[in-house]
Amino acid sequence: MVLALAAGAVGALLLAHLAGRAQVMAQSQTAADAAALAGATAGRSAAEGLAAANGAVLAGFDAAGGTVRVEVALGDERAVAAATRPVPDATPALAAALDRVGDILGPDATASIRLLGPLGSEGVEVPRRLAARLGALSHRTGLCRAGDGRPLHFVLCPMKRRQ
């Protein structure tokens, strides 16, 4: 009888331990998923913030080709997640140029670009912190200053200048 009670107590303790571990695993995966989504839309700092908000630490961040892959740590538990940067509703040529901007300057850059006109037909507006870098990389991104006196306004480069 004592042996049966001891076995039951050990079983209950084991079950409680496994339930606690499952909860930590789920929490770390939630933190990884949130961090990946934040990273894909707003960059590394947003991923770090969402990981921290979920009790985890961003242990790895890789952005390549429009996809962000993160690894988070929560105690001894680690979780991995990936998310793809959303492509704004834009013309195919503008969407391709924005992808090149993201590949070259990172997802932080594209997250803050605003389309002008339907599907970006009037170009894009970029934040001041990005304008000089984007202007210097026009030959690689395919986005050039609009030349309308607005330093933050970019349009697709003329075909002869695109590489």
Q: What is the DSSP letter of 149?
A: S
| Other Cβ atoms closer than 10 A to 58 | 22
Q: How confident is the model at residue 91 (pLDDT cuts 50, 70, 90)?
A: confident
Tokens found for residue 134: 């984007």
- The pLDDT value recorded for residue 161 is 41
Q: Which of 104, 112, 143 lies closest to 130 in space, CA to CA?
A: 112
Q: How confident is the model at residue 162 (pLDDT cuts 50, 70, 90)?
A: very low
Distance of CA 138 to the CA centre of its chain: 23
pLDDT digits (tens, 9 = 90+) for 18-29: 666 677 788 889
**pTM for the model:** 0.53
Which H helix or E strand runs over 73? strand 67-74
pLDDT digits (tens, 9 = 90+) for 60-89: 998 876 788 999 999 899 999 999 876 667
pLDDT digits (tens, 9 = 90+) for 99-118: 888 888 877 777 778 888 88
Q: Which of 123, 99, 118 lies closest to 110 in space, CA to CA?
A: 99
For the chain, what is the mean pLDDT?
A: 83
- The pLDDT value recorded for residue 86 is 64
Kindly calculate the radius of gyration of the chain based on its CA atoms and give it in whole angstroms: 23
Q: What is the DSSP letter of 92?
A: H
What is the per-residue burial (b if ≥16 Cβ within 10 Å, else e) of 140-150?
Answer: bbbbbbbeeee
- The pLDDT value recorded for residue 67 is 84
Residues 6+ apart with CB under 8 A from 156: 93, 94, 97, 123, 142, 143, 144, 162
pLDDT digits (tens, 9 = 90+) for 127-154: 898 899 999 999 999 999 998 888 899 9
- The pLDDT value recorded for residue 51 is 92
Select the more confidently predicted residue: 111 or 163.
111
**Stretch 116-124: mean pLDDT:** 85
- The pLDDT value recorded for residue 159 is 74
Which H helix or E strand runs over 107? helix 107-111
Tell me the HSE value of 63 on the side-chain side, using a 13 A CA sphere. Answer: 26
Name the one residue in this structure whose structure tokens are 């803050």.
112
